[in-house]
Amino acid sequence: MKTISVVIPCHNEQDSLQPLFERLDGVFAKAAGYRFEVVCVNDGSVDRTLDILTGLAAERADIVVVDLSRNFGKEAALSAGLKTASGDAVIPMDADLQDPPDLLIDMISKWEQGHEVVLARRSDRSSDALSKRWSARLFYRFHNQVADVTIPPDVGDFRLMDRVVVDVLNGLPESRRFMKGLFAWAGFRTVTIDYQRDPRAAGKSSFNGWRLWNLALEGITSFSTAPLRIWTYLGVFVAAIAMLWAGWITIRTLVYGVDVPGYASLFVAVLFLGGLQLIGIGVVGEYLGRTYIESKGRPAYVIRKIFRRDG
């Protein structure tokens, strides 16, 4: 019998868990030919999430709870879950029922047809705010323009991955883990199915604008060095213009003599170039910071305890 692992990062999801497991159990009953394992990662919740999860894990053999020592963020929680999952296929899923569990059946049948990755694409994002949809579209467009890997738009972490794919992801050494990018980087035979994204079942989203902005920066700097390279071209461009201008000024001075005014243009040029240089240093700093953090080799997450009914 093949085992399917469902990996669920949970951060303050006390009210989502009961409806989530009701839906999941319905799906498990329908796919009776498989053994299911649910790996819940408690990512530093401050509500009753951990109590509820450990209660479930004490009763049911199919639930494993990984308790992280603090809030490490969704990307790290997912990594912890993937490491713990033992299934022949692994499906990461949000706890808030925005990823409909019924899709598991379709994913599994596609997997049985020989696809190693089954992506779930949100064909309709109307449950997301307009600002979120627009910023997401902008991010995918920009990211895919500059980065080496192409992240399929409107595809989240909800997907099925074969064991070979999960093993590759588990073997990646980086501690700053932008999962969408890592998933795309891994490759493998991929198929996409569409679904409708539901609104959150309970509780509220942990991702505000600032957090999403930082996630976007993380994604771009993790998979592209284009922001670093652009300064070389910009520098060449500005230097070339300066040379041309210098030539023009020399000729003009020889023909017409010196005219003193020019304070304003000088000032603008100095400010403009000063600003450009600061931005350039900032971008270099962004990458340097990431190299610095990565060079320490700290793990992406720390596990306090793993709860399992049978040992």
Binding segment (CB under 5 A) for Mg ion, from list 17-25, 67-75, 97-105, 156-164: 97-105
> Shortest distance, CB of residue 108 to ligand UDP, whole angstroms?
21
Pick what 71 binds: ligand UDP, Mg ion, none; C-beta below 5 to 8 Å, kind-dependent: ligand UDP
> Shortest distance, CB of residue 279 to ligand UDP, whole angstroms?
29
Among 92, 86, 74, smallest CA distance to 10 is for: 74
- Regarding 154 and contact with Mg ion (CB under 5 A), the answer is no
Considering only residues 71 to 130 of the shown chain, the ones binding ligand UDP according to CB under 6 A are 71, 73-74, 77, 94-96, 98
> Shortest distance, CB of residue 9 to ligand UDP, whole angstroms?
3
- What is the SS3 assignment for 103? helix
Binding segment (CB under 6 A) for ligand UDP, from list 5-13, 147-155, 215-223, 267-275: 5-13
Q: Choose between 57 and 115: whose C-beta lies nearer to ligand UDP.
A: 57
Written as six digits, the tokens of 3 are 């085992």
Query: Which residue type, as a one-letter code, is found at position 255?
Result: V
What is the spatial distance between Cα 164 and Cα 166, in angstroms, rounded to a whole number? 6
Only one residue has tokens 């949809």, namely 133
* Contact in structure between 85 and 37 (CB atoms under 8 Å): yes
Residue from the set 37, 67, 96, 157 that interacts with Mg ion by CB under 5 A: 96
Residue ranges in 187-309 assigned as alpha helix (H): 209-223, 226-256, 263-295
Which of 2-16 are b and which e, b meaning 16 or more Cβ less than 10 Å from the residue's Cβ? ebbbbbbbbbbbbbb
Among 85, 96, 90, smallest CA distance to 159 is for: 90
Query: Which residue type, as a one-letter code, is found at position 1?
Result: M
Pick what 75 binds: ligand UDP, Mg ion, none; C-beta below 5 to 8 Å, kind-dependent: none
Sites of contact with Mg ion (CB under 5 A):
94, 96, 98
Sites of contact with ligand UDP (CB under 6 A):
9-11, 13, 43, 71, 73-74, 77, 94-96, 98, 205-207
